Amino acid sequence: MQPAAVEGFAPAKVNLALHVTGRREDGYHLLDSLVVFADVGDRLTAMADAALSLHVTGPRAAGVPTDAGNLVLRAAALLGAGRGARIVLEKHLPAAAGIGGGSSDAAAALRVLARLWGLPLPDATAVLALGADVPVCLSARPARMRGIGEALGPLPPLPPLWLVLVNPGVPVPTGPVFAALARRDNAPLPPTLPRLGDAGMLAAWLRTCRNDLEPPACALVPAVGQVLSALAVQRGCLLARMSGSGATCFGLFATASGAAAAAAALRAAAPGWWVADAGLAAPQDQATRATT
């Protein structure tokens, strides 16, 4: 029996490392990135309906489009053209922030609508048309992402770790960040990724890696550097780095209490910033809930 409604979660995507390794003739950049998902994010509910519609609620709803400019509706059309559903998107993540908000929303829409409509999920190549981050967000598992986003591989088991995510509320233009790269043929990540026993060991290894987009983003938008500096001095912060093309940055912590204390300190010091402390998210293909 078709469920009356399906609920799902769209977790924040975090690039622990991001190496730009080349650029194709069509202009798409080649990446080698380590991606994890935080247990903070947006929520979607899809309800059976004759027509397809999108309604946006939540604390970050302002300015979010509800027409074809939203990836959620484009994802719905890709999965089941001509089918109907009433989709409610509850926005908690900042938009265009380097943590895959729109891509994760589109991926969550694919998961909940596939269950609502009784359809199989599309493969990575099909959803790549929605954006480079959509394939990894559809999987929503820790992954090594290569190519232009379509080549996904599993990561070794990760140790317990916690994150503090901070966005200064200043947009970072993705195109100019890529254009300002000093070079585009940077070295990839090591061929084999080590299995690391704790968050400290992971952070030490990640310091041998990079986010190649961080230097140009800091040069273009000084607020990114201010966030990184504020994170780095927090007690217990093992690593501070930008995610994606910014402006969201993350601090890596060994304990939930350390992350929570750092987040509280940052909120007090910079009340205009978006700040969230988080653990790692559960695999999302097991986290949809249907009602009849």
Amino acid at the residue 207: R
Which tokens go with 214? 């961080």
Cβ 114 vs Cβ 28: under 8 Å: no
Which one is catalytic: 42, 133, 212, 277? Answer: 133
Tell me how crowded residue 267 is: count the other CB atoms within 10 A of its CB. 16
CA distance 158 to 142: 9
Q: At what angle do helices 71-80 and 101-117 cross, to 10 degrees?
A: 30
What separation in angstroms does the CA of 288 have from each of 24, 86, 99, 110, 283? 37, 16, 21, 11, 10
Radius of gyration of the chain from its Cα atoms, rounded to whole angstroms = 19
Residue that has been written with the tokens 């926005």 in this structure: 91
Q: Which of 156, 51, 111 is nearest to 284 (CA)?
A: 111
Examine the residue annotation and report whether 13 is marked as an active-site residue of this protein: yes
Which tokens go with 128? 């790549």
Q: Which of 111, 98, 102 is nearest to 138 (CA)?
A: 111
In 3-state terms, what secondary structure has residue 214?
helix
H-run or E-run covering 110: helix 101-117
Examine the residue annotation and report whether 26 is marked as an active-site residue of this protein: no
CA distance 242 to 224: 8
Residue that has been written with the tokens 């233009």 in this structure: 173
CA distance 243 to 14: 6
What letter would DSSP give residue 254? S
Which one is catalytic: 13, 91, 105, 277? Answer: 13
Which residues are part of the catalytic machinery?
Answer: 13, 133
